[in-house]
A and B are shown apart, each in its own frame.
Chain A
Amino acid sequence: AQSVTQPDIHITVSEGASLELRCNYSYGATPYLFWYVQSPGQGLQLLLKYFSGDTLVQGIKGFEAEFKRSQSSFNLRKPSVHWSDAAEYFCAVGAGIQGAQKLVFGQGTRLTINP
């Protein structure tokens, strides 16, 4: 069965510092991988996605992620965080039959920014 693990439940970084959020997945075939962000009281917004091709993908708000098949990882990075980045971040893998897929989400990582 497909699964996603986000090892860090809560991360605190200082504003301006770099950020890396970890994500490991389990999936038999080539995965579709996603990072979503959820601000308090809001729905989820897509940050970036990986389907195929270049393993380093760029997203919105200055985020990027790197797909490493050998490590079954899809870590999210940002060189310099802003206070507005405080939110919960979810890694997800697309699972199922093409055209009828669902997303399997990790448990999420809550990001706190120190001023």
Chain B
Amino acid sequence: KAGVTQTPRYLIKTRGQQVTLSCSPISGHRSVSWYQQTPGQGLQFLFEYFSETQRNKGNFPGRFSGRQFSNSRSEMNVSTLELGDSALYLCASSLIGVADTGELFFGEGSRLTVL
């Protein structure tokens, strides 16, 4: 069974640009969550989608957005990039949600560098 796949793995952008990251969950998983990981702030929850609906959202500005498609694949977008957006963005999937199954399956992440 294939794991969670994130693309691209690495990317470099400049301030003011926008970026789209993609996540393909494990087959059959309907919940997709996104986390930002930085040395200073650690792992922070961005948002969670289930059946194309955003169920939960973290404390990030509106420049961070996401969506989920009917096949459960998810994308997140960051507009007007700032230096502080440099981070490892992790996608995680689960069957229904972390409370129901107790486990999130994480991808290897997309490492974004903003210059």
Contacts and interface: CB of A to CB of B under 8 A. Distances in A.
Contacts of B45: 102-104
Given A51-B102, A105-B42, A106-B42, A100 B48 contact: yes
Given A44-B90, A105-B43, A108-B42, A99 B99 contact: yes
Interface in A86-112: 90, 92, 94, 96, 98-108
Given A32-B99, A43-B90, A108-B42, A103 B56 contact: no
B56 A100 contact: yes
Interface in B6-41: 33, 35
A53 to B, nearest CB: 12
A43 B109 contact: yes
B58 A102 contact: yes
Contact of B100 (A41, A99, A102): A99
B17 to A, nearest CB: 25
Nearest to B43: A105
B4 to A, nearest CB: 7
A32 B97 CA distance: 12
A42 B37 CA distance: 12
A106 B44 CA distance: 10
A26 interface: no
Contacts of B44: 105
Contact of A49 (B97, B100, B103): B103
Given A32-B102, A43-B107, A43-B108, A99 B97 contact: yes
Nearest to B57: A102
Interface of B: 4, 33, 35, 42-45, 48, 50, 55-56, 58, 90, 92, 96-100, 102-104, 106-109
16 contacts: A32-B98, A36-B106, A41-B108, A43-B107, A44-B90, A44-B106, A99-B100, A100-B48, A100-B97, A101-B56, A102-B56, A103-B33, A103-B43, A103-B45, A103-B104, A106-B42
